[in-house]
Amino acid sequence: MPKDQIETSRSDAAVLFRPGRLGDLTLPNRVIMAPLTRNRAGRDGVPGPLNVAYYRQRASAGLIITEATDISPQARGYPDTPGIHSQAQVEGWRRVTEAVHAAGGRIFLQIWHTGRISHPSLQPGEALPVAPSALRPAGEAVTYEGLQPFVTPRALETDEIPGIVAAFRKAAVNAEAAGFDGVEIHAANGYLLDQFLRDGSNHRDDAYGGSVEKRARLLLEVAGAVTEVLGAGRVGIRLSPLNSFNDIRDSDPQGSFLKLAALLAPLGLAYLHVVEGDMTGQENAELDHGRLREAFAGPYIANNGYDRARAIEAIAGSQAEFVAFGALFLANPDLPERFRRDAPLNTPIRETFYGGDGRGYTDYPFLEEGALSAA
């Protein structure tokens, strides 16, 4: 690339490196590490030295949002995902946060309950997974014995729902004890909170089903419980209005999620993190993400398929305050510096995304000093 084009590219990228306010934090850049399930925490869900190294390597992100983390044994839906419900898990995560903070980073814990996407083999006592309604999703669960068809879940009784809220609250307490800067509530991608939000998976006729306001009630109760622990400025929420992953759908995503954003706005949360479009690549209903951002009236993190050029365009055009990157951050631990210099990127190795050891996890190369000076 000619020198004048390099300088122009670097100048354009400056918008990615303006400090930005995100709730109680001031971030040094707008490049967020998206939550990425990696299945490397073992059967006990305790983060170990490999996890510490992985997150420490990526501490130059404006903010790290960790992989989705189980709020309870019932919440688990995949092998070897981490938890935040035992003392050993809290201590394992504390080693992660200490390493990230020592490297100058900031880190939120993403907390989830997978609901009907789990499988009896992953549940305590091989119980049925729980869901808003007893509707079996299409597809297969990932288990220790390989892929197995999803089962028909058990619909949660109304009097069980406070227990789900309490588990999210306890996860926030434990996240604070582990040293996290905040938490992200995972209400996206077809997991339990998303299952309640969508009319395709929520057929309840009690206070948690029917209208958008009722379907949103569980998420609002969870958000209220978590913010009571941490303060609203240390809590974000992730949504995916158009994503059909995990056989999730809604008859009116535009109307449903605009109402939801308006319901969330008074809480004063740190941010709204939105998976834009469909992760599966399907073409489905359109949604005006600009209106969603306006209805929320707080910091907006855009996600799904962004690259350096699109991120610059989104932030320069005030379409988002921050942009989250998944596979690019997975493969490039120094992604902000590569973006700053418009340097070449490592290619993600898809076959090592889930499970395994350090290969495709902690062994992606950083830019060498010589390459940095020549960029």
Residue 265 has, within 13 A of its CA and on its CB side, a CA count of: 14
Q: Which of 223, 218, 227 is nearest to 238 (CA)?
A: 223
Residues contacting 243, CB < 8 A, separation 6+: 188, 189, 190, 275, 277, 278, 279, 280
What is the helix (H) or strand (E) element at residue 371, kind and residue range?
helix 369-374
Phi first, then psi: give them for residue 325, nearest 5 degrees: -125, 135
Say if CB 194 and CB 248 are below 8 A apart: yes
- The tokens of 224 are what? 């209220």
Which amino acids are annotated catalytic? 191
Kind of pairing between the strands at 235-239 and 271-275:
parallel
Q: CA-CA distances (angstroms) from residue 244 to 138, 191, 282, 326, 351?
A: 11, 11, 8, 18, 23
Tell me how far apart the alpha carbons of residues 33 and 63 are, in angstroms, rounded to a whole number.
Answer: 6
- The tokens of 311 are what? 């991120």
Kind of pairing between the strands at 20-22 and 25-27:
antiparallel
Computed from CA positions of residues 248, 253, 258, 259, in that sequence, does the dihedral angle turn out positive or negative?
negative
Q: CA-CA distances (angstroms) from residue 302 to 34, 47, 233, 322, 339?
A: 10, 28, 19, 6, 17
